[in-house]
Structure 1
Amino acid sequence: MRNSITIVGGGVAGLTAAIACAERGLAVTLHEAHRSLGGRARSTPGPYIANDGTHVLYSDGEPFRWLAARRLVQPCSRPTPGELARFRFRRDGRIRSAPPLALLRMVSHRRLTAPVDESFGDWATRRFGPEATRAAAGVVGVITYTADPGRLSAAFVWERLLRAVAPGWPAVRYVRGGWSAMVERMAAHARGLGATIVTGERVDALPGGPVIVATGLDAARALLGDDSLRWPSGRAALVDLGLRADRRDPFVVSDLDEGGFVERYSLPDPSLAPPGHALVQLELPARPDEPIPAATGRAEALADLALPGWRERVTWRRDAFANGRTGAVDPPGSTWRDRPAIDRGDGVWLAGDSVAAPGMLAEVALNSARRAAEAASAAASVGMAVGVELSLSAVPKASTQSD
């Protein structure tokens, strides 16, 4: 009889944990409170297929290779040279075709190690000057959902900056059909491995036996009754626009002034919008205590610069505000190792994008889920070995004396 494990949460972390546990021979039961799987990786049903956030994967990371080896992200797209030629930058209030030279000089120092204990703003300004530091913060703002990345650990921001602007062919990949397509493949793969997936069933009390809690920290804190499960995150205004297509629209506008982003997701993946239309996603990090309407208004102002006549071309729109659900950000003096630990003891493990695992964006959720599955499998193997040993010790030994 196989050892069993319960997984709470059916987002990317929970589905990754389910696959990894099932591959290790565990009997998996996954519970998801909503009727649909995916968590923050859900997408709208169409005709405009918009992810719940500006989701991309980076093919230079191990999580992407893990997903690709199981055919869970295919088909996917990467930017073409023609699309990259439509990459723009907002700086000093204008849309430009190139970033400042100070930023290019900064990111050429790829072998440089940034300190953990100092803020990025202080370290980068001293090392590269204020112009490069402001532009770098603009690049990383969209990755961290943070209006002021300069206040974060220099090591944390530097790692993300170098990943985002790595030389050569871009590592960014777009899952065709939106992330819900990837979620569907992950669920089907987990079921094919024997996992049981139950949706529309909220878990209000910690299940008995080994369990992986693959939820946000708020839900995990309530479920485990552990108030220490906290870590800072970002907050940002998100706007999805369905537009009548205009050939003048750029592919991407990286907002170096305010850390925002405009991206025409339907350019690398035309299936996301009806023919003759475009799906555009905007993200703008909110300032501390900034009201939602104010942050959304600043996102619209960015669209005014980036998308000619967009207000007259809107055929569909969705507004959202991400607050404390955008993944962990590390303050000075802390690294991913200082976040809430995956192993909570007593047969409980955490997985998600705010726990102690490395990576960028969704990579943290995948890495933590795989580590939790590995630990749970190892614990199950030890438990099985102990059980077998105890069973054998209860069997009477054969007598060695002759009659």
Structure 2
Amino acid sequence: MKHVTERFIKYAKIDTQSVDEMESVPSSEKQKNLAKVLVEELKELGASNVRTDEHGYVYATIPSNIDKKVPVIGFIAHMDTSPAISGKDVNPRIVKNYNGEDIILNDELKITLETSQYPAIKQYIGQDLIVTDGNTLLGADDKAGIAEIMVMAETLLSNPNIKHGTIQIGFTPDEEVGRGVDFFDVEGFGADFAYTVDGGEIGELEYENFNAAGAKLFIQGTSIHPGSAKDKMINALLLAMEFQGMLPVQENPMYTEKYEGFYLLESLEGGVDSAKASYIIRDHDKVKFQQKKDNFLKIVSYLNDKYGEGTFKASIKDSYYNMKEKIQPHFHLIENAKKAMEDAGVTPIITPIRGGTDGARLSYMGLPCPNICTGGHNYHGRYEYIPIQSMEKVVEILLNIVGIYTE
């Protein structure tokens, strides 16, 4: 049986970075390279109905080996890694028996994982950590989830004495760019309930997430030679700055935590004549979420009154919603996941997600799907790390969930 570490490192080395602003799914064809590997491995393990499609989704079934009818449980993870930093030539390194001190990731580039900046790492003294070489992200988000699901599958398929109902497995592309379930076959997947294995540190259990929207802002200015600009020039970049200045200062993500929502200016490009800005808008509370979107458009209207109709054009598109209202009627998903963690000696940490997962959208597509931990830390950056012992515990938690629903 392959250890979860071996599987994770293998998958981490396959470049699957997704691409923003692409209409196709997957947004990068290279994600299918990992999909092909997973299809072959699942077939070798003896899974049933193993398949992939033109979009790169991977599906498989572990058939029931019991006579009674129990809920069909699914486990889902995503194959892509974040566009925030390179996912090419990932070179994981294992730090054995971590001593609690700073970890030099790249001596040549002077990149160090400092405990003063990331103090949570000290809880893993004595454990074995997988870290980056400082040049790329690690990819534990979410290749750790894939590895953990695959080891769970191998354990069940190679040990017929472990009794279980039907288990469905799904691996998705493009979660990091918000299109992870655009073409997910919920009906064909055939699960009654599911879990995304896409959380952070060991013990995390999440069934609340942001309501989310993306906003595009276009500003039309007037360019003219600065020597004759008086009363004629309208600088689109300055108008963009004026718009940003009218958003609530305290609702910048750098000042928010827990259930507090925000506006985030993700990008601004252009010049005097015209400019484009991209925002994301987030809030856990549906009413406050709508208020934020309304406020965004009110500022646009105010500035158009000030500078002339058509100076500002805005579009807002909802991305996903808080899964809480879809999970609460099936709260056994949370209670059973808590028990599975406690049975593994893990203390559940129930927190709201300050982001979203595939599970949020799946919950609104008819598949209630909370999120559980992978064990990783510092996602989307070169300081990402994951304790091997945490990955082993997640495998145990997944098997415990299977056992609970079998009982």
Alignment TM-score, normalising by the size of structure 1: 0.31
Alignment TM-score, normalising by the size of structure 2: 0.31
